[in-house]
Each structure stands twice: as C-alpha cells, then as structure tokens.
Amino acid sequence: MKGVGEYPVPFQSGGVYPTFGRQPFRLYVDLSGEWEVLYDEEAGDARVGGVRLSLAARTQETVELLTEQMRSALAKGGWRRARVPSVNNARGSEGEGYQGVVWYRKVFEVPTGTLIGGRRVFLVFHGANYVADVWLNGEYIGYHEGGFTPFVFDVTGLLREGANELVVRVDNVPWDSEDSRFVTVPYKKCDWWNYGGIYRDVYLEVVNATYIARLDLVPRKLERGWSLEARVVVVSAGGGRAKLELRVHPARGAGAIEPDAFSVADPSETLVELARELDLEPGVNVVTLRADCSKVREWSPESPTLYVAAARLVEGESVLDEVWDQFGFREVRVKGSRILLNGEPVFLKGLSRHEDYPELGRALTPSLIYGDLQIVKEMGANFLRTAHYPNHPLTYIYADRLGLLVWEEIPVYWFDCEAFRIQLARGIAKQMLLEMIYRDLNRPSIIMWSLANECGCRDERIAFLRDLAQAARRADAGRLLTQAIAWDPSDDTTLKAGLDVLSVNMYFGIFYGKVEDMDAAIKELRKRYPNIPIVISEFGYWSGGGVGEARQAEYFARTWRIIETNRDIVCGAAWWTAFDYDSMIVFDTFGALDWQRGHRKLLFYEIKRAYESFPRVEEGGQKDITATLLLAAAVAAPLLYTVGKLVKKKYLVGAGPSDGERKRRFHEKRVE
C-alpha cells in the first residue's frame, strides 16, 4: 500500500491493484479455453544459491535462468492440450497428485482497432497456484507468488494486434518439502488437496489512457440512517480536467446468478447522484465523494438488500470509463462479548466449505458455486467459513445476494515459530491478506478476516498477527479480525495480538475428552476471557472409516445442544464441513453432503432442523434437539483431558488412522 492523499492505495507489479469485475464500457479478450501444457518436473529442481528457482528473488540472473527454461520448454516434445481454467493434478486425472512445474502456452488474436487511442491493456489472472512467471511475445513481464488471489500485469507496450503468444510457468511447490518448509504459504502437507495450475479466469482488459482503477464503497451507520463514502482511484496518463459522476441504484431482487454488477442494477430508480469536476494530476489520483443515504434498507442474512454503484469518468462529451460494483449497507462491530450486526446481537449458525469438486477440483463454474451456497442456505445457516484460503470471487458476490455472513481467511495454516519469523521478513502472507481484502472490499457478506488457523508458537505468532492486523485495519477498518486456534484455554495470542474475536476449533469427544466436556470448556474460556466474543470456528466428525452417518449426525446433535445452552457465551459456531472434500492426506467425509453433492446425509437434516429452530424455546423449557437421533452410546473413544493438555491417547473407535488423522496428530502435539 502507498499513501495517496489521506488514503492508502494498493499497488501490485508497479500499478494500482484494481477493482475486479467485468465492466460494460471496457473491451475484453477472454483467454480461457484450449491451451498447450507441459509437465516439467526437472524445471522445478533448478536452484539459485541453494534456493528453488521459483522462490528466489527476481534478479536479472533469475529472470535469465527462467527465460532459458522457457525457451528450452518450448523446444521440447510432450506438450498436450488442456482447458484453462482447470487444475492440473486432480484425483483421477493424468497428473493426479503432481506437485511441481507445469508450462502453459496459448497463441491468441487481438482484434484490429483494440489498441488505438493510447489505450492501456492489462493481463488479469484470477488464480494460479503457486508461483506464476509470465512471458508475452517472448518478453518476461513478471511473476506472482500465492495461489488464491488475482494478479495483474500492464502489457500495453508488449501486446500487438493480431497473433500473440502467452507463456506461463506455474510451479505448485510441493508441500512438506525442503523447498517449501517455512517459506511458502502454506508449507506443510495440509488437510486439503494441493491443486495446481491456472484454475481461475484469465483475460485481457482494455481501458482508456485515463481510467478508474478502483471504486471502494464505505457505508457508515449513523445515529439515524446511513452515509456512503465512495473512494475512487483515477489513473491519468497526462493529467487534465474531467468530471466524475456517481450513481447508486437498487439491485434487482435477491439471489441473482448473473455475475456482473451492472447486470443486476435497476436503473429505473436512482438513490444517489453526485458529480465533481476534477483537475487530475498525471499518475494516481484519489477522489472521495460522500452522500447521505437516509432511506436505504440494511443488508442482513434475512434481508440481503443490495445496491449497485456506478462511477463514470467524463471528459467533455466523451465517457472515458465506467466502473460498477454491488454493495450493501451493513455494519459489524463488537460490543463487550457480543458481535453486533447493524446494532443488534447476531448468532452465527455456520458451516465451513472447501472449494472442491470431483474432477474439477477448485476450478468451479458459477452455477456450481451458486449451488453450493444455496445448499448452505437451505440448511438454515446464516454463516459460512470459506476455508482455508480466499475462494473464487463469485463465492462472495453470491453470498451477498443470498444472505450469508462470511469469514474469509488466508492459508496461514499449522505454522511454527520459524515460519512466522520468515513470513515477517518475506511478507508473502501479508501480501495475500491485502490482495484478499482489496479484492473483496465491497462485499457486505464478509464480516471477518481470519489471519491464521491452528498455528503453534506464541511470541512469534503474536508479533506476526499484530503486523498483519495493523495492515488489515489500515486497509479496512470496517470488519472484524480473528484467527482460528486449536483448543487450548491458555492460548492468549488472539487477545495479545489485539484481534476482535476469539475463535476456537473444538473437537471434544473426537480428538480429546468427552462430548460433555465441551460445556465446561466454553465456560472456562468465558472465565479466562470475559470481554471478547467467542466463536466455535470448527466442530465436526466424519462419517467414513466405519463411523457411519448416524453417529456423525448424533455427534452434531449432542454438541449443538451444548452450544445452544451456552448461547449467552458463544456468538456462533461452524460445522466442519458442508461437503466432503479431497485431501493430500486422506479423503475427508466431514460433510453434510457427499463430494458430488448428490447424497444428503442424516447430518444434513439434523443441521437443518437445529438451525431453523434456533433459538426457539418450547413451553416448559429449552427444546431437546437430540430427540430424533439417539443412535449410539458413545461417539468416539474418549481422550482424558486435563488443563488443556492431553494426558492419555487412544485411537479413535472405527476411524483408525484414516479420516481426521492429520487433525488428530496436530492436536496430540499439544501433549507435554
């Protein structure tokens, strides 16, 4: 981030990190479709100063080595055809489980007339895992590290009308390897599948020489009504006079599937109409427009009312650019130990979701993303944890429209002390955080940014979290910050780092203790930490490994009864997970539905009944939500638990070392 006037502006690869989304006034060249690919394990073995070439600093030497590799790869045989976006190592594919370098090549046409009038062209990737180096027409244009957030290159001087050649080297650095250890984010063998490749959209975006780079919309709740602050970042080639116009329209209905903001706007009604004459400086300009919005409707899960803002840049009679984005009037804050949504306490009835589907992996279509969120809503949830990385941007656009509160996080997962020290120096985790925040800044559904999951260490973690929290609050002061910690009542890192919500993953009766111990654990947390909201960020049980659907559903019922009883202490909970998902360790069957989304387990119906009835209290006392499922006497072999530490370990009945093994091992590390 760089300060431009009174506001920080995000930069990437030398230019402003933009507001993403297709705009009606701009030209696009879609680069999805058929590409050529080459798997090249040997390229991943290259080193510079003992460091994997992909992870070395981009000096003249490393760029020359990478370019030599590129030319060598183009001369090799073995290229095959593949579609982009797609993953390159899904279960059942030719590249199943492959982690390493894959080359991508595409020859594409730029129509005549595209580059006239000093237009600028940006090459946009929405996601490539993990390190991507890019060449256009033989020239190296840059690289990006991080598999889940967009990256953009200005290719104005390198693109030509007619045929162009694009080459991308994507290195999915192997987890748990000498190369990745402590360096990549994440670096351990995580409990999900490490999908590689260019798995999200790729396209060229053409704008005028003076254009709108960002439209950041900041609603503020007043004592009566709302105000709206629109921060518009304008990039001008040579400066000069222009006029900036801002209009706000209602969005048409809830739940629209069309991805683009302008397609859901209702231009027949205008709530805000502002204009300002500008004297633009060459380079980056920040313009702030403010409006009172006393008659708007607030966004909430029960009433996900959205609006669409359109910022238009005009020079004389000519429109230079126009950017549209959806947003909502929603406030989230903390008061004592409660989370307030629009000034009222909210209880989060949640599910977690991995972005994973058979054969497609993480390269999901809009209809599949939309369908997943519809299922989550059908179960009565009002809260979705998108674990453990930024999901496709449409996930959050659809969450806005369907009415889901969202927790979004970066993949700082199972970090140790050395990893925190290295990341404070490398800054990749912070880069991921800021790219995530600025990509999704206008999404009212997102109420929490999460900075880590189940990490070890104390002092180094606190320093790391403080550093990221400072950056996050500078970029976005309107959301809550948290991390998900493994159960340990002595873990005070959330408070010491100054985060807003204490989020704890709890697996009582599965990895430690008995189910009933969860009640005392919740009360202990409140006693130790009386003035911070508490969220149970994970609780769950698998249905595979001989456990069965009935025991899985019963486990939910028993734990939910404890959570419901303690709703004056906890602010919500998220079941792990909505859908089964693949993993590099084992296939995980924690879902309420199977991987294909074709089978609804008993758990689906138990969650739906519990969430839809919450917090109804029947005559004579609290409803017994386990009445329909008393199917087994013991959910799992208990692990004895004392003062936050395991003192005796047993294998789980029926599960063995398969489903949940990695989680079990992690929690057992807490034994002293």
Q: How does pLDDT run across 555-566, given as a tens digit for each residue?
A: 999 999 999 999
Residue stretches of the chain with pLDDT short of 70: 616-672
Q: How far apart are CA 539 and CA 559, in angstroms?
A: 8
Q: pLDDT value at position 7?
A: 85
Report pTM: 0.92
Q: Are 339 and 345 in contact (CB under 8 A)?
A: yes
Question: What interhelical angle do 602-613 and 549-565 show, nearest 10?
Answer: 20
Strand segments (E) across 316-421:
318-327, 332-335, 338-341, 344-345, 348-353, 383-386, 405-409
Q: pLDDT value at position 632?
A: 33
User: Which residue, among 145, 125, 150, has the nearest Cα to 52 in the 3D structure?
Assistant: 145
User: Which residue, among 402, 412, 460, has the nearest Cα to 433 in the 3D structure?
Assistant: 412
Q: pLDDT value at position 254?
A: 72
Q: Are 287 and 220 in contact (CB under 8 A)?
A: no
Q: pLDDT value at position 615?
A: 76
Q: How far apart are CA 326 and CA 267, in angstroms?
A: 13
Residue 354 token pair:
């991995």
Q: pLDDT value at position 663?
A: 54
Q: How far apart are CA 435 and CA 441, in angstroms?
A: 10
CB atoms within 10 A of CB 206: 18
What domains appear along the chain, each with residue ranges and CATH number? 16-207 (2.60.120.260), 211-332 (2.60.40.10), 352-668 (3.20.20.80)
Q: How far apart are CA 596 and CA 32, in angstroms?
A: 25
Q: Are 623 and 231 in contact (CB under 8 A)?
A: no
- Coil, strand or helix at 402: helix
CB atoms within 10 A of CB 238: 11
Question: What interhelical angle do 428-439 and 417-426 show, nearest 10?
Answer: 70
Instruction: Identify residue 425 by its one-letter amino acid code.
Output: A
Q: How far apart are CA 20 and CA 399, in angstroms?
A: 17
- Coil, strand or helix at 550: helix
Q: Are 480 and 501 in contact (CB under 8 A)?
A: yes
Q: Are 211 and 321 in contact (CB under 8 A)?
A: yes
Report the b/e string of 623-661 with b at 16+ CB within 10 A: bebbeebebeeebbebbebeeeebeeeeebebbeebbbb
**H/E run at residue 208:** none
